[in-house]
Structures are given as structure tokens and as C-alpha cells.
Chain A
């Protein structure tokens, strides 16, 4: 880990849905170029926490700084902040009425204010980066799940974000399509992208993650290098969880 200030610094994040506390004071700081994996049983609050990091979910308490921006301050322009925070969803969420290229171009034009030609060029480059240069003019329905997810990654990285959030990016994919998406993520990592990944792809975590965070019941129970979390977890809940997913 580097000694510079963290690029993501979340402290004491609380989130309640009705009377139910889903996040109970979660802290997480992520250094630049770091890849952090967040694992935990369903209902642990890991996806909710990730969605707090770009304020798709509004935390009830705590503070979140991303790239020096106080995310929860009322003075913050959240739309400007979100340019620096890319997000990839479990269900891809591509715009079905637009081609792959148009999907990438929309925010380039409307958020960054690029003209059509600029946006088309940048979009083509982003799609090339995820290996889909040839499928640019296809609609999402004409693409496989893995290709759709790679378009979704292109849509996010085209804005040149400072951090990328991945919310179970391979959970909705058939097993044979997972590899292509993980390859793209691996390349992003090699290019120095800071990434927070909620996922159960253990092999990928072991190979690529700098740190693994284990969450349960809305709290961070344990964190450490992948070897420690997977081979010698300290907490009983972590041990039980690792045993369970290892069986798959």
C-alpha cells in the first residue's frame, strides 16, 4: 500500500431501509491503483455499500471522500463527481434502444459535452479496449451477456474515471462468458485503474486483488491480503463463508 492519501475514504457509513440497518458504520479506504475485493454472504450489505460510493444509495450517516470530493456534502455536484466514479452492474443495464457505440457516446456527449465526432472516436477507442471494435454497431440484444458487460465497462471507462466500482459483474453470466469480462478487468488493473469489486470470483481475487474485505450483517468483519483471507481467515464467520464458496 502506498503512503499517499487514499482515493476512496469512507468512514462510519450507515444505511437503513425502513427500520432495518443494512450498513452499520462501515469504513473503507482504498489507495490509488489498488484493487479491493469485497466479499460476504447475501444480505451482508456489500452491494449497498458499493452503491453508496457513488451515492446511488444515499447513506444515512458517515462520510465518503472520493478523489478529494466530499460525496455526501450538500454542496457537492454529484453529477460532476460521478464522472470520476465508473460503475458496472450485475445486470449490465445497457440502453437497449441504442447500439453499443451509442451507449458509450451518450454520457460523452451529454456529460463531457463532446461533439458527435469526438464522442464517436472516444467510444470506438473504449470499445476497442474491451475487444468489441467489430461489434460497435450492434444493439445489446444482438450481443452475448459477456459482450454486453464489456460494453458496459467501455461505457464507464470512456469517461476516464478515477475509480471503478464493480457490482457482481460476472454473476449474471454463463460460466463460459466470465473469462472475457475478467480479462478486461485484469487489463484495467494493469493499466493502473483503482477498482472496488463486489464479487465471488475467488480465483480472480486470489490472482489480482491487493486486499479482500469480508462483510457480514452490515459490518466489515475482516480484511487483508487474499492469501490471508482465503487461507487463514481470523474470524469464524469468514471461515464459514470461505468454506461454503470453496465447495462450488
Chain B
């Protein structure tokens, strides 16, 4: 038991590793704050194209979504960071993460939102248009609010995955939380920093997890 505590829950190690871990946590927060809105924006754009464009745009959006959901995000990120410079395009580490998450996460959000938009009855758009609203106004005020509401649990679940996925940013030299924890682990020959990182993720994401189950309960009750 003592060995276990020493190796995994060692307070001395925590105090030593704290500055590194904190910097990693700050990176994870910044990465999340960038990738979630970017992914959502890309997702809304894809979902709108996939549901209301002309047939060839819808087809293109569907193909795009399939493609970027099928490619492993790590491969995509490495390609954007290390591959694109060979084509004369250097987007940098943050640029690669932004682009990679826009493409990958945007496709996942897009798929969720597309389902949401398709769950809103056609009559809603027709009623809005019949009062003189433009297609854009009808989407913004009538269709999208209902679409988001219908798939809110899925959107939040997806967001949890995105935050956890930001750990792959370490492959392009952005020292996020998990990377820093591994550094600290190597330096101290002790697993406590990893445990501390896990606790940090938990504290960050737990409120969202609670939110999902509350929303799901409400959705069930509303039925």
C-alpha cells in the first residue's frame, strides 16, 4: 500500500511537478477554447450545406464529412504539420491544430447537426417562409434552435471527445497537459503526474458529463 501511494499519489511529486502540469493544463484549456468553436463553426457550415444546398453540394458535403471522419486525426495532424511544408505551405503548430480540428471535429459536429436539422419538420421552414422570412432568417431563428435542442446531448458528448482529443497536439510540439505529465513522469520516475493530469481532465469535463445526463433525463421526461 505504501508503495502504491508512493508511486501513484505522491504529494511531494505533485508539488514538484505542479508548475509543469499547470502550464500543460493552460495549453489544454487554450487548445479546447480554439478547437471547440472552430469545430462547431465548421459543423454548422457542413450541416447547412448537407441539408439545404443543391444536390451536388449536398453530395460533396456528405463525401467531405465521410472522408474526414474516416481519417485518423493524428495522421491528419501530422500531415498538416509535417507534410504541407513540402508543398510550400507552412501553417505552424497552432495552424495545423486549428485546421486539423476544423476538418476532423467539424465533420463530427456536422454529422450530429445534420441529424438535428433533419429532425425538424419541413412545416417549420414553410411556416417561417410563408411570413416573409428569408431562408437564412428561417434557419437561424426557427430551424437551428430546434435542431440544436434535439441533438444537444450528442453535441455535448462530442465536445467531451474533442477536449480529450486535444492531447494529440503534443505531436506537433504543443506541450499540453498529458504531454507535460509524461515529461514529469519521466523526470521523477513516478506515475503521480499522470494521475494528477487525469484528475485535472476529470475536473474539467465532469460538469459537462453531468450536463449530458441531465439533458438526457429531461429529453426522456419530455417524451
Chain A residues packing against B (C-beta within 8 Å):
54, 56, 79-80, 82-83, 85-87, 89, 91, 93-97, 106-107, 110-111, 152, 155-156, 159
Contacts and interface: CB of A to CB of B under 8 A. Distances in A.
B137 interface: yes
A87 B130 contact: yes
| B interface majority secondary structure | helix
Closest 5 CB pairs of A and B: A93-B127, A107-B131, A93-B123, A111-B132, A87-B130
Interface of B: 121, 123-124, 126-134, 137, 141-142, 145-146, 149
A79 B133 contact: yes
A106 B133 contact: yes
Contact of B123 (A54, A86, A89, A106): A89
A111 B127 CA distance: 13
A66 to B, nearest CB: 13
Given A106-B141, A110-B137, A110-B141, A82 B123 contact: no
Given A93-B124, A97-B145, A106-B142, A111 B130 contact: no
B149 A82 contact: no
Contact of A97 (B127, B133, B134, B149): B149
Contacts of A156: 130-131
B219 to A, nearest CB: 14
A82 B141 contact: no
Nearest to B142: A95
Given A106-B141, A106-B142, A110-B137, A93 B126 contact: yes
Given A96-B146, A97-B146, A106-B141, A159 B124 contact: no
A188 to B, nearest CB: 17
A80 B131 CA distance: 9
Contacts of A85: 130
Nearest to A102: B141
Contact of B127 (A89, A110, A159): A89
Given A83-B132, A97-B146, A107-B131, 11 more contacts: A54-B130, A80-B132, A82-B131, A86-B131, A87-B127, A89-B123, A93-B126, A93-B127, A96-B146, A106-B128, A156-B131
Contacts of B142: 95, 106
A160 to B, nearest CB: 12
Contacts of A80: 132
A135 B124 CA distance: 21
